[in-house]
Amino acid sequence: MTASLHAFADSLDGARRLAAALGLGCHTVALRHFPDGESLVRVEPAPGTAILYRALADPNARLVELLLAAAALRDGGAERVVLVAPYLPYMRQDRAFVPGEAVSQRVVGALLADAFDAVVTVDPHLHRTPDLGQVLPGCTAVAVSAAPALAAGLANMVAPDTLLIGPDAESRPWAAAVAGALGLELLVADKQRGGDRAVTLALPDAGRARGRPVLLVDDLLSSGGTLLAATALVKAAGARSVAAAVTHCLAGAGDLARLADAGIAPLLAGDGVPGPIATIALAPVIAQALRQHRLC
């Protein structure tokens, strides 16, 4: 089956890297907004498999535009429409924490599963729903690990005595994978969240950080509260320096400035969400997954 790749203008850098890794051209999805705020998308005709790529930070309008683009690709002759969304939004609200709340993961998952034949994403935040297939019923669901990409991006900048710390129990899978790839000692902290920005961490073995470089590894950087708390903890324990790497950075400029002021350097992220610290290319691991699952 022939394949083509289509991307919105806000996601072109990552999409072009993926297109190059797959040996495909990259078509831009034309997008305009009507005076009333509604969106209009236009796509190139695409027989065979159409891969639609979009970074999905700030997702509300983007999700609607994705659904429009998927339908337009099918109308244009696509036999199979594959979504590549390196960051999959709304995965954290996986239950009603307070009665009456929407279970956003289930709602958004059903919407995407209905529109796409396959969804490929990187390190989805699936803590109480371990299988992405459950979130995307009836759809081919591929969760790619960023660990090989993060390890490759970090390989030349970590000293052998670096202590790698996952800031909470949920971070263990990717923190362990990066620590294993780089041959680093791993500790995992225990996190309590009191609110969107209120985070406290406990690390009984924090003394292991004394005099050593520390590398924090997590899937998401959102408000930065988790990395700030981890940095305070290891600095109090005598860490020589603190660096951090995350799969996806959703933080704005103010929060990134607070992390820099706290002394986290370097601070790196995968390029699935464009931004100033998104320097680690996820295209190689995504391309490998697309080939492995015969989606391109």
> Active-site positions?
191
**Minimum CB separation from ligand R5P for residue 16, in Å?**
28
- Binding characters for ligand R5P, 99-128, by CB under 6 A (x = yes): ------------------------------
**Minimum CB separation from ligand R5P for residue 199, in Å?**
5
Kindly tell me which residue out of 168, 213, 270, 281 binds ligand R5P, with binding defined by CB under 6 A. Answer: 168
The region of 4-12, 13-21, 77-85, 213-221 touching ligand R5P under the rule CB under 6 A is 213-221
- 188 forms part of the interface with ligand R5P (CB under 6 A): no
CA–CA–CA angle 87, 90, 91 (5° rounding): 75
The region of 36-44, 49-57, 164-172, 206-214 touching ligand R5P under the rule CB under 6 A is 164-172
**Residue 155 structure tokens:** 């390989």
Phi, psi of 141 (to 5 degrees): -115, 125
**Nearer of residues 109 and 224 to ligand R5P, judged by Cβ:** 224
Burial of 75 (0-12, 13-18, 19+ CB in 10 A): exposed
Phi, psi of 93 (to 5 degrees): -85, 80
> What is the secondary structure of 166-203 as a DSSP string?
ESSGGGHHHHHHHHHHHT-EEEE-EEEE-SSS-EEEE-
Contacts 24+ apart (CB under 8 A), 101-106: 105/129, 105/135, 106/135
Kindly tell me which residue out of 199, 217, 245, 287 binds ligand R5P, with binding defined by CB under 6 A. Answer: 199
**Minimum CB separation from ligand R5P for residue 223, in Å?**
3
User: Tell me, what DSSP letter sits at residue 133?
Assistant: H
Phi, psi of 166 (to 5 degrees): -90, 130
Answer for the pair 228, 218: CB distance below 8 angstroms, yes or no.
no
Kindly tell me which residue out of 220, 233, 244, 268 binds ligand R5P, with binding defined by CB under 6 A. Answer: 220
CA distances from 7 to 53, 75, 84 (A): 5, 17, 10
Kindly tell me which residue out of 94, 117, 123, 218 binds ligand R5P, with binding defined by CB under 6 A. Answer: 218
- 171 forms part of the interface with ligand R5P (CB under 6 A): yes
**Nearer of residues 74 and 172 to ligand R5P, judged by Cβ:** 172
The region of 39-47, 77-85, 115-123, 224-232 touching ligand R5P under the rule CB under 6 A is 224-232
**Minimum CB separation from ligand R5P for residue 69, in Å?**
28
Count of residues in contact with ligand R5P, rule CB under 6 A:
14
| Number of alpha helices (DSSP H) and beta strands (DSSP E) in the chain | 9, 15
Binding stretches for ligand R5P (CB under 6 A):
167-168, 170-171, 199, 218-226
